[in-house]
Amino acid sequence: MCLVRHTMQLNDIMKLSKSIEEIRSDFPILSTKAYGKPLVYLDNGATTQKPEQVIRVINELYRTTNANVHRGVHYLSDRVSERYEAARETVRAFINAQKKEEIIFTAGTTASINAVAFSFGERFVGKDDEIIISGMEHHANIVPWQMLCQRKSARLKVIPFSDDGILDLESFRGMLTGRTRIVAVAHASNVLGTVNPVREIVREAHSHGIPVLVDGAQAIQHGIVDVTDIGCDFYVFSGHKVYGPNGIGVLYGKEELLNEMPPYQGGGDMVASVTFEKTTYNDLPFRFEAGTTNFTGAIGMAAALDYLSALGRQAVAEREQALLARATAGLSSVGGLRIYGTAPDKVSVISFLIGGLHPYDTGMILDKMGIAVRTGTHCAQPLMERYGITGNIRASIAFYNTDEEIDALVSGVRKTVEMLA
Ligand code: PLP
């Protein structure tokens, strides 16, 4: 991933194509007042807000171009099918996949991982085989593999990580055996922010002939993701975390591998012919898109990707790095505050706990100041266990956040400490 680090000042960095005022006015929800105070939205890791450009496309689609995709010969069905396929091409170009057929629309990251765990698992995983994940995964990249291991009597192995949130690659290398069937790791941790060395992980796994799935749910929105450069076999992400609608996501898979995998779900559009005796399946990508897909979502997500591309993805990454540096410096100056995840290469996610204060209490007081952060385990209970905590507070920053909002978070945290201490 192409991210620029750490000590950069906002005015030194690559320019976005719009001013911050223009950007913020693209996102109507950012002018919300929470309890009469300006909303400071720092829960972008959970879901991102949507620009007018995305809202308008979805609205316009329902007004002018709604029909079932790939179903009819009529005018509207043709128009919407063209736009759906154009959205697929937008995704392909955005992640630099080689072929449009390698882009499968799903309901989101979770759905994509479940599809691979089921389909790849059916074809390639058997008794006593091994699957490797990391200790910093979201539940979405743990549970589907656990379920597969239960179905197949296979074994789950977990790459450990250091206190500062860096994967232990030495251990990883030692885990690769003749029985390893797949490696599945996060590109960026949703709690620690760590950007994992996915290219190196892929290179190592491939040297043993083992495919790799990369969970890009927390990476795609923060920088330039190039699946050809990474070399991974699968890359997955969600539309709602990249300024698009929810209920839509992507499964990128290498064509030759997808072609060897059985379909995950049966139904309309994924078939070539059906009789009661036998069904033959459609070609990629339709073989993995059973039923009426979320075509409105796909077209909306493509509008979000276009929005990011027009802003300048490198400039977005650099702005977020500068905001992260400001937040890290500010929060580090609060007495008794510990940041979880201090790797040198991070996306703009910052998790912390303050002394003996309960994260929910802190989160609730911040909320009353209009500051939206996430509290709890962030769907990463094993990670919390690794640190011996039951949860923490997470501020996750987007390019539309401002210096003033970061300062409001820091002073809000200070006030909370004063109130609760
Ligand atoms: N993986 C990571 C790293 C995440 O952060 C998330 C959501 O927070 C997911 C997977 C699941 O994404 P979704 O709920 O959109 O399927």
Residues with catalytic roles: 379
pTM over 0.85: yes
**Residue nearest to ligand 1 atom 4, measured at CA:** 217
Write down all domains in the chain, each with its CATH number in brackets: 10-50+312-420 (3.90.1150.10), 55-309 (3.40.640.10)
The pLDDT, as a whole number, for residue 126 is 98
Ligand 1 site residues (CB inside 6 A) read 108-110, 138, 140-141, 186, 190, 215, 217-218, 238
Q: Which of 141, 145, 238, 396 to mutate to test the pocket of ligand 1 (most atoms within 8 A of CB)?
A: 238
Show the 3-state SS of the chain: CECCCCCCCHHHCCCCCCCHHHHHHHCHHHHCEECCEECEECECCCCCCCCHHHHHHHHHHHHHCCCCCCCCCCHHHHHHHHHHHHHHHHHHHHHCCCCHHHEEEECCHHHHHHHHHHHHHHHHCCCCCEEEEECCCCHHHCHHHHHHHHHHCCEEEEECECCCCCECHHHHHHHCCCCEEEEEEECECCCCCEECCHHHHHHHHHCCCCCEEEECCCCCCCCECCHHHHCCCEEEEEHHHHCCCCCCEEEEECHHHHHHCCCCCCCCCCEEEECCCCEEECCCCHHHCCCCCCHHHHHHHHHHHHHHHHHCHHHHHHHHHHHHHHHHHHHHCCCCEEEECCCCCECCEEEEEECCCCHHHHHHHHHHCCEECEEECCCCHHHHHHHCCCCEEEEECCCCCCHHHHHHHHHHHHHHHHHHC
pLDDT digits (tens, 9 = 90+) for 282-293: 999 999 999 999
Block means of pLDDT (10 residues each) for the chain, length 421 residues? 43 79 98 98 98 98 95 91 98 98 98 98 98 98 98 98 98 98 98 98 98 98 97 98 98 98 94 95 96 97 98 97 98 97 98 94 97 97 97 98 98 96 78
> What is the best residue among 137, 379, 381, 396 to mutate for testing ligand 1's pocket, by most ligand atoms within 8 Å of CB?
379
